[in-house]
Amino acid sequence: MFFYSSEMEKDINKADFLDAMHERVRCSISEASIILQGIQESIDSETQSTAGDKHDTSRELMQQERNKAAQNLQNQISMDSLVLKLKRITVSCEVRFGSLVLTNVGWFFIGLPLGRIQFEDKDILCVSGNAPAAKILESERVGASIKINGKNIKILSIK
């Protein structure tokens, strides 16, 4: 969990934050594509050999790696779609999906399951809309006091 400091009071521009997250996801898509392409090239260059079981085992392991890489790429593409959706959400007076929330213990962003990230020298805990912290914060307003993991948390602003 975070600890409150006056540094956190400095504002974060939500549009800039989402642009940075979009760029991060696009880089992840690019990296995942390169990895998948490399694995596929390895599989394609593998020639049928008479090595029998050893060859089949090696090929199967490569295929499993390819499947993992393809799944990772698909997850990143889904994350890209999610960021685009989040960019269209308007600010609300209540915490909801897409909210950037300043509390007395730090920043939370509801909508992207990225964990703790750094943005403009601030720690932001990015959680999915289904995360326990998101469910506790949901529908709360500025000034509300809630408990997360036994800590008293006060909502200072919502973007």
Amino acid letter, residue 131? A
pLDDT tens column, 37-89: 999 988 887 755 545 566 678 888 889 999 999 999 999 999 999 999 999 99
The type of residue at 118 is: Q
- Is a pLDDT exceeding 50 seen at residue 8? no
pLDDT at 9 over 80: no
Hey, what amino acid is at 111?
G
Strand, helix or coil at 97? Answer: coil
Q: What is the pLDDT of residue 138?
A: 95
Let me know: does 80 contact 29? Beta carbons within 8 Å.
Answer: yes
Q: How far apart are alpha carbons 85 and 81 in whole angstroms? A: 6
pLDDT in tens, 91-141: 899 999 999 999 999 999 999 999 999 999 999 999 999 999 999 999 999
Quick one: pLDDT at residue 28? 95
The pLDDT of residue 5 is above 60: no
Helix axes 14-45, 53-87, angle to 10 degrees: 160
Strand pairing report for 145-148 and 106-110? unpaired
- Tokens 């909210």 label which residue? 99
- For 6, other C-beta atoms within 10 Å of its C-beta total 6
